[in-house]
Chains A and B, each alone.
Chain A
Amino acid sequence: MFISDVTNQSLAQALRGLDAQRLLHEQNIANIETPGYLAQKADFAGSLRQALESGRIEDADIEVTNSVLPTRLDGNNVRLDDEITGLTKTQLHQDLVTTALNARYRLLRTSWDR
């Protein structure tokens, strides 16, 4: 069925992953002065690709990893320019995925308007 085919499911999973990324960037910025805090990042692309290759899209999940960058003296390794760049990229990526989803739905609407 068109509404929940594999393309739309992948796009939806990408949106979930991007939302997790945005949340972690925000959390990292909030903790930029917290001693001992390690920056975290979310990756959904690797798992999504594996799920697509195995044909089981529902297996796709979001991996959260700690950053391995060197820490400052207080044990924190959040870098503001990294986080801001990440947020900007995530936003652009979200726009891209949303545009793709909108195009799919526009196609669907065209068919039921006839």
Chain B
Amino acid sequence: MELFRSLSIAESGMDVYQQWLDAIADNIANINTVSPTDEAAFQERFVVAQSQIGEGRPEGAKVVRAEFGNPLGRIVHSPSHPLADEDGFVRLPDMDLTDQMSNLLMAQRSYQANVAAFERARSAYETALEIGS
């Protein structure tokens, strides 16, 4: 059995939410990225997490793959844009800033929750080490 297991579990959670935060930051950075209509729009990035079990014991979570949103995006009429086609249309990503901001809050809070779990576990182990001293 691995020593101090809950520290690794909390760390795996931190890693998952770190990657989700990265994905959200990427989405927000590209929220206004314009593409011509003959190319795909920027695709919203999602991360897919999965719980990990090793030898019947929990081993936290892991990001197993990324998923991507709608490549068609939104067609917007913007005739003065340099990337516009002959009818004056461009493609914008099919994303909503409100969604991204609420995801950002969730990811941030969940990351903090994992750090809290890490700190609690550490302090519990430190208490255990005081037994008999």
Contact = CB atoms under 8 A, between A and B. Distances in A.
Interface string A81-96: 1100100110011011
Contacts of A92: 3-4, 122, 125-126, 129
Interface of A: 79, 81-82, 85, 88-89, 92-93, 95-96, 99, 102-103
Contacts of A95: 126, 129
B133 A81 contact: no
Interface residues of B, number: 16
B35 to A, nearest CB: 23
A96 B15 contact: no
A99 B8 contact: no
A82 B3 contact: no
B4 A99 contact: no
A85 B118 contact: yes
A81 B11 contact: yes
Interface string B1-21: 001100110110011001000
